Structure 1
Amino acid sequence: MSCFRLATALTAARPLPRNSQNLRLFARKSQEFTYARRQFSKALNESNIGKNTKPAGTLKLTLLGACIGAVAGSTYTIYSRISDKDSHKEHERTPPKVIGSLPAGVRITKRYINPKDTSGLDIVLFQFQTCPFCCKVRAYLDYMGVSYSVVEVDAVLRQDIRWSSVKKVPMVLIRQQDGQYVQMTDSSAIISLVASSLHDKRTDVGDLAQFYPHVSFFDDDGKKRQDILNKYFLMYQDRTPKNMTKEIEENERKWRTWADNHLVHLISPNCYQTLGEALETFEWFSQAGEWDVYFPKWERNLMVYGGATAMWAIAKILKRRHELTDDVRSHMYDALGKWTAELKKRNTKFMGGKQPGLSDLSVFGVLSSMEGCQTFKDSLQNTNIGKWFYDVKELVQQNRGELRRERIAGVEALA
């Protein structure tokens, strides 16, 4: 119990994800063991006080049952602790990785150079051009006028990130003041880190990254998961903007979370609901990502036909997982209707007010990933999302740096 109290105290001190199922299971085991021990003690007392008040057979059965209950409870507790040997690693924090230099063989496909950029950030973005999470990161960087380099990763072979233990995109490498690179994953955490750095240039980006560690936890199914702590929070520290209120911050976090946990999960079931539509979508991905320019023909075809087939199958699984009906378009229309209704209620051009906020750029980024798909065309016809979407797009494109296409071995200094 002392270990349990210590774990509870530590959890209370740190606002981390909690595993309610494990706590309930532990409490239930303790209650069962306490009950069995109480019955055993009661039986012993009765045998000492009044041996003649109960039949001998009843007393023996009581003692036997109490012993069996105590042994069973203890055995189950010990077995559970042995089988759950990693439970002590719950809430384990792992800071972002730092690497000494850019990995050998990294191939830059293009750069966005903005002569007005005063951020001082050197960012390399590893992406799939039409990945909704990658589109979110680009939308933010472009709107803020930040210069960055892009590595277009093969969605099937992923050779350009084989150096990394994390095989997901988006991923960024950002140069620290000491010349090393901090590696960040998760689109929302990347955006929060860069936004924090742009707000407070006094602090090294590597130091700010320490506020976004990976944290482990067990979900309600008992499976160990990982997430990034504080990923929807900006680290203002002692320099909170004057126009930033608690209400604005909470609203930004609410809709950024909504974009990640709901809106993005509607894309695959919609864009890949038939094999024909999946192939049409990947052909557009190839065009938007310039796969024929950056990849050999055989690799481009593998990405198109292999990717379309795989995503068509995965879309069916995702539809069931997220409990969507066969009319998947209606779920997309409902989500976009919720967003536009909130804008109308606030009577503002953007969720951020007169200018797009982080939630605007997140939702725009997710939707821009399917701009060339039939789903997006249908959404324009059946919802009021068009005006807001193109207003955000215009500002993003106005602030974006100059595009320079290239494919080189290694990374050279920006020209």
Structure 2
Amino acid sequence: MAASYVRVGRLCARLVACNRACSWQVLVLQPGSRFYGQDRGLREKLAGRLKVGSSALSFALVLGGTLGLYHTLKHYLQQEQHHAEQPYTKKSTADLSLTLYQYKTCPFCSKVRAFLDFHSLPYKIVEVNPVLRKELKFSSYRKVPILIGDDGEIVQINDSSVIISAVKTFLLSRHKNLTQVASYYPEMKSKDEKGKEVVEYNNKYWVMLEDQDEKQYYFTKEARKEEMKWRKWVDDWLVHLISPNVYRTPGEALASFDYIVREGKFGAFEGFFAKYFGAAAMFFVSKRLKSRHNLHDDVRQDLYKAADQWVAAIGKHRPFMGGDMPNLADLAVYGVLRVMEGLEAFNDMMANTKIKAWYQRVEEDIKKGQDVEQ
């Protein structure tokens, strides 16, 4: 609305300036103008009448300009209000084809699936072999998830948070295709302290919307900031609690890799190797991760604290951080935690924190989206 007032102010200024210019031209006799005739009295009478006529004409023009300005502004504001009150119509995705390259047990891939399922978007899955990764030979980007979108143009989108922001922007944007939207998230390459190339993305937590579309999705600026803050929290903190917890003990590590091998794309030899050697390796890796992220000796305490921190952020007066329905932060937290389902760490979290009710609400809403898709 503020933008509308600014535009109206500019329109007023232009119209007032126009009226002033017209009045000035009537009231002032132009240099070099002449009165014909020799009678001085006649000239004075004519000049007097012309002055009176000019004043009357000026008044009429000012009055007419003011009335015109009033009706122009009235029409402008009615159009603005009509535009703002137009209901948002969901963009058709009938011609949109999506393919997700993933590891099923990857938390970043899981949060992308949670987002796509919640929004009832059909997509194909290509399960990537975590050892050979031959399914990714087409790409110089060798990580998962990767999303290939085709809505008339084919575009590759990397990074889970970029995928979610870009597809959400596409769904809410009225006039942009997926390729155009993906260009809003440019890739930035740099090197870390060890000289290893690091790829990051500008604007990865921003849903890029025009003013009218933003108001349809975010009711306040604070809601948008809150969603971005907690999406970043998921990537910077929550996801790093998964490995130390699911590989906490040798027994838990073995159970985790049994699940990974069962759900992933492994050959017979690869599966055997991954289950036993991978479990042993990740048990020790989890100890390094615990040290890197300054976790407690009992890493469950960090997981419990994070779960309760999330529930406290939602509060008691709304079912989701998004209000009556999950927003992108809700879906990200749910997607990351979901990869622990069936494991000891997940059961402990449900029993020792307040997150269970929220988790089940999100699960039910995502299932509704999947039912619509089917």
TM-score by length of 2: 0.70
What is the alpha-carbon distance in structure 1 between the residues aligned to residue 363 and residue 245 of structure 2?
Answer: 22
Q: Does 1:262 align with 2:262?
A: no
Q: Does 1:331 align with 2:302?
A: yes
Q: Percent same amino acid among aligned pairs?
A: 42
Q: Given that residues 279 and 305 in structure 1 are in contact (C-alpha distance below 8 angstroms), is that contact kept between their aligned partners in structure 2?
A: yes
Q: Shift of residue 238 of structure 1?
A: 4.5
Q: Shift of residue 240 of structure 1?
A: 2.5
Q: 2:118 aligns with which of 138, 143, 147?
A: 143
Q: 1:125 aligns with which of 100, 122, 125?
A: 100
Q: Shift of residue 323 of structure 1?
A: 1.0
Q: Shift of residue 224 of structure 1?
A: 5.9
Q: 2:286 aligns with which of 293, 309, 315?
A: 315
Q: Which amino acid aligns with 2:93?
A: T
**Cα distance per residue 1:162-213 (max 9 Å; x no partner):** 33222111111111424xx211111000000110111125212111111111
Q: Given that residues 127 and 169 in structure 1 are in contact (C-alpha distance below 8 angstroms), is that contact kept between their aligned partners in structure 2?
A: yes
1:154/1:201 CA distance change after superposition, 3 Å: farther
What is the alpha-carbon distance in structure 1 between the residues aligned to residue 138 and residue 350 of structure 2?
Answer: 41
What is the alpha-carbon distance in structure 2 between the residues aligned to residue 144 and residue 400 of structure 1?
Answer: 8
Structure with bigger gyration radius:
2
Q: Which amino acid aligns with 1:275?
A: P
Q: Shift of residue 222 of structure 1?
A: 8.4
Q: Which amino acid aligns with 2:235?
A: D
Q: 2:359 aligns with which of 389, 392, 397?
A: 389
Q: Which amino acid aligns with 1:264?
A: V
Flag structure 2 segments of 5+ consecutive residues without an equivalent.
Answer: 1-90
Q: Does 1:157 align with 2:132?
A: yes
What is the alpha-carbon distance in structure 1 between the residues aligned to residue 334 and residue 98 of structure 2?
Answer: 22
What is the alpha-carbon distance in structure 2 between the residues aligned to residue 224 and residue 183 of structure 1?
Answer: 20
Q: Which amino acid aligns with 2:329?
A: S
Q: Given that residues 274 and 312 in structure 1 are in contact (C-alpha distance below 8 angstroms), is that contact kept between their aligned partners in structure 2?
A: yes
Alignment of 1:311-390 (within 5 A): 311-344=282-315, 347-390=317-360
Q: Shift of residue 329 of structure 1?
A: 0.5
Indicate the larger mover: 260-269 or 393-402. Answer: 393-402
What is the alpha-carbon distance in structure 1 between the residues aligned to residue 130 and residue 281 of structure 2?
Answer: 11
Q: Given that residues 281 and 372 in structure 1 are in contact (C-alpha distance below 8 angstroms), is that contact kept between their aligned partners in structure 2?
A: no
Q: Shift of residue 117 of structure 1?
A: 7.4
Q: Secondary structure at the match of 1:184?
A: strand
What is the alpha-carbon distance in structure 1 between the residues aligned to residue 363 and residue 325 of structure 2?
Answer: 12
In the alignment, what sits opposite 1:250?
Answer: 225
Q: Does 1:215 align with 2:193?
A: no
TM-score by length of 1: 0.64
What is the alpha-carbon distance in structure 1 between the residues aligned to residue 122 and residue 97 of structure 2?
Answer: 8
Q: Shift of residue 217 of structure 1?
A: 4.5
1:254/1:328 CA distance change after superposition, 3 Å: same
Query: What is the aligned-residue RMSD (CA, Å)?
Result: 2.4
Greater relative contact order structure (CA < 8 Å, 6+ sep): 1
Q: Given that residues 350 and 356 in structure 2 are in contact (C-alpha distance below 8 angstroms), is that contact kept between their aligned partners in structure 1?
A: yes
1:366/1:177 CA distance change after superposition, 3 Å: same
What is the alpha-carbon distance in structure 1 between the residues aligned to residue 310 and residue 150 of structure 2?
Answer: 36
What is the alpha-carbon distance in structure 1 between the residues aligned to residue 207 and residue 268 of structure 2?
Answer: 43
Equivalent residue pairs, number? 282
**Cα distance per residue 1:12-48 (max 9 Å; x no partner):** xxxxxxxxxxxxxxxxxxxxxxxxxxxxxxxxxxxxx
What is the alpha-carbon distance in structure 2 between the residues aligned to residue 221 and residue 155 of structure 1?
Answer: 24
In the alignment, what sits opposite 1:231?
Answer: 204
What is the alpha-carbon distance in structure 2 between the residues aligned to residue 219 and residue 136 of structure 1?
Answer: 26
Q: Shift of residue 141 of structure 1?
A: 0.1
Q: Shift of residue 119 of structure 1?
A: 5.3
In the alignment, what sits opposite 2:163?
Answer: 190
In the alignment, what sits opposite 2:250?
Answer: 275
What is the alpha-carbon distance in structure 2 between the residues aligned to residue 376 and residue 348 of structure 1?
Answer: 24
Q: Given that residues 126 and 153 in structure 1 are in contact (C-alpha distance below 8 angstroms), is that contact kept between their aligned partners in structure 2?
A: yes
